[in-house]
C-alpha cells in the first residue's frame, strides 16, 4: 500500500510549465495538440505530465484510443489548476499594471496601417498632455495583436474586426471603406467612382493570404461579382503596395485611412466597396492602469477625428493624393 503523501511533496517546487501542459492536454484531449498550442515538442509535454503524475502518485489521464480522458486524480486537479494559473496570471498582470502606472509605460499592439501612420502622432499628442509617459509599440496581424493582449505583452491592442474572444473586451471605433488607388493616366483613374466589377479583371496588388483583411476583400469580390480578384503582386507592407502601383504594375484596394501613403496616385471611391472596422481590445479580467485607460480614450477620440471624410480629404491634399470625390463621398 502506498504511504501517505504529505502536503509539502504535493505543493513544493511546482513547475508552472508542467501545470500548463496538463491543462492544455486536458482541454484538447491530446498530447500532440497540446504541444502545438503551447509551441512545445510532444516529448516535452509528455515529460511534464509524467513529472506531475510522479508528484501526485498516480495517473492523471486515461488513454482512450487516440483521445485522453481524465482519471479521478485528473478531475480533482484540473479545475484547481486552472484557477491557480488564472490567479497567478492575474496577479502578475496587476503587479505589472501597478509598476507601469508608477513608471507610466504603455505597451501597445496595433496593425500596420494604424501603427505606421497614426499611432506615432497619437502617442506624440498624448505625451504632450502627459509628459514622461513611455511607450512600446508592437505591430502584428489581428490574431497576433489579440494574443499580445491576452498574454499581457500589450496593455491595449488596435485590431480589425471580427474578434470574438471571451478573454477580451472589444470596442469598435470606426468603420471605413476600401478605395481603389491607381496611377495617373490609368483608365480607371479618371472615373468619379468604380465598382468591383470594374476592378475584377485588373492586375491587383494585394496583401498576403495570412492577412484577415485580404481574405475579407476576396469574400466581398466573390459575393458581388462571383469571381476572385486577379492578385498579380503580393506584399504584406502597405507602403510597398503603393510603390507597386506607382510603378504601374497594377492597381490596389487600400483602406481610406491609409490614403496618406498614396502620394502621386489617384484614389477613386468604390460603390460596392468592402469595409473594415477598427476596434480597441483590452483584457477583460486584468488590471488596467489609469494611464492606459486615459490613452485608450485619447486614441479613440483622435482616431475618430482622423477618419472623417473631411479629415481624409484634407490629408490627401496635404500629401499630394488625387482624391476623386463629390459631395456624396463626404457622408
CATH of the domain at 14: 1.10.10.10
In a domain, 20, yes or no: yes
Instruction: Round to whole Å and give the CA distance between 223 and 216.
Output: 11
299 and 157 housed in the same domain: yes
Are 322 and 226 within one domain? yes
53 and 90 both lie in a single domain: yes
Residue 271 falls inside a structural domain: yes
**Hunting for cell 490574431 — which residue is that?**
143
Which of 94, 111, 128 is where one domain is finished?
94
Report the C-alpha gap between 309 and 305 in whole angstroms.
10
Neighbours of 175 (CB within 10 A): 12
CATH at 322 = 3.40.190.290
Last residue of a domain, one of 94, 123, 145: 94
On whether residue 195 sits in a domain, the answer given is yes
Cα separation, 226 vs 56, whole angstroms: 59
CATH number at residue 143: 3.40.190.10
Contacts for 230 with CB less than 8 Å, ≥ 6 apart: 200, 201, 202, 203, 204
- Using the Cα atoms of residue 21, residue 22, residue 26 and residue 29 in order, give the sign of their dihedral: positive
Which pLDDT does position 328 carry in this prediction? 41
Residues 220 and 267 in one domain: yes
**Cell for 97?**
499594471
Same domain, 163 and 136: yes
pLDDT at 108: 94
- Say whether both 213 and 316 belong to one domain: yes
Predicted confidence at residue 118, as pLDDT, reads: 79
Q: Is the dihedral of CA 155, 161, 165, 171 positive or negative?
A: positive
pTM of the full predicted structure? 0.64
If asked whether residues 283 and 260 sit together in one domain, one would say: no
**Positions of the chain with pLDDT under 70:** 1-14, 96-103, 210-212, 325-331
Do residues 65 and 180 both lie within one domain?
no
Asked if residue 79 and residue 113 are part of one domain, the reply reads no
Sequential DSSP letters for 220-260: HHHHHHSS---EEEE-S-HHHHHHHHHTTS-EEEEEGGGGG
1 part of a folded domain: no
Whether residues 209 and 63 fall in one domain: no
Predicted pLDDT at 244: 94
Same domain, yes or no, for 185 and 266? yes
pLDDT of residue 97: 62
Question: How many residues make up the chain in this entry?
Answer: 331
pLDDT at 305: 86
Same domain assignment for residues 241 and 324: yes
Domains in the chain, number? 3
Range of the domain at 239: 175-276+311-330
Q: What is the pLDDT of residue 280?
A: 95
Q: Give the pLDDT confidence score for residue 2 in this predicted structure.
A: 45
Amino acid at each position: 500500500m502506498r504511504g501517505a503523501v504529505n502536503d509539502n511533496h504535493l505543493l513544493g517546487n511546482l513547475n508552472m510549465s508542467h501545470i500548463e501542459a496538463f491543462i492544455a492536454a486536458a482541454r484538447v484531449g491530446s498530447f500532440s495538440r497540446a504541444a502545438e498550442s503551447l509551441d512545445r515538442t510532444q516529448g516535452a509535454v509528455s515529460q511534464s505530465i509524467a513529472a506531475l503524475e510522479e508528484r501526485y502518485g498516480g495517473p492523471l489521464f486515461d488513454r482512450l484510443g487516440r483521445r485522453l480522458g481524465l482519471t479521478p486524480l485528473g478531475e480533482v486537479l484540473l479545475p484547481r489548476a486552472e484557477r491557480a494559473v488564472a490567479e497567478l496570471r492575474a496577479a502578475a498582470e496587476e503587479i505589472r499594471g501597478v509598476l507601469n502606472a508608477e513608471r507610466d509605460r504603455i505597451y501597445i499592439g496595433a496593425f500596420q496601417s494604424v501603427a505606421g501612420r497614426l499611432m506615432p502622432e497619437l502617442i506624440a499628442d498624448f505625451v504632450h498632455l502627459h509628459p514622461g509617459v513611455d511607450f512600446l509599440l508592437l505591430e502584428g496581424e489581428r490574431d497576433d495583436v489579440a494574443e499580445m493582449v491576452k498574454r499581457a505583452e500589450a496593455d491595449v491592442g488596435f485590431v480589425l474586426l471580427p474578434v470574438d474572444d471571451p478573454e477580451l473586451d472589444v470596442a469598435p471605433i470606426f468603420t471605413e471603406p476600401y478605395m481603389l488607388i491607381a496611377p495617373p493616366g490609368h483608365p480607371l483613374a479618371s472615373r468619379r467612382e468604380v465598382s468591383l466589377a470594374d476592378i475584377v479583371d485588373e492586375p491587383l496588388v494585394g496583401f498576403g493570404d495570412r492577412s484577415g483583411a485580404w481574405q475579407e476583400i476576396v469574400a466581398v469580390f466573390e459575393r458581388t461579382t462571383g469571381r476572385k480578384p486577379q492578385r498579380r503582386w503580393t506584399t504584406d507592407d502597405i507602403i510597398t503596395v503603393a510603390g507597386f502601383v506607382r510603378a504601374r504594375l497594377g492597381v490596389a484596394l487600400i483602406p481610406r485611412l491609409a490614403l496618406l501613403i498614396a502620394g502621386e496616385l489617384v484614389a477613386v471611391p468604390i460603390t460596392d466597396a468592402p469595409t473594415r472596422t477598427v476596434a480597441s481590445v483590452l483584457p477583460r479580467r486584468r488590471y488596467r492602469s489609469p494611464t492606459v485607460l486615459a490613452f485608450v480614450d485619447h486614441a479613440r477620440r483622435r482616431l475618430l477625428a482622423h477618419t472623417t471624410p473631411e479629415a481624409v480629404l484634407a490629408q490627401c491634399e496635404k500629401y499630394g493624393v488625387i482624391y476623386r470625390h463629390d459631395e456624396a463621398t463626404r457622408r
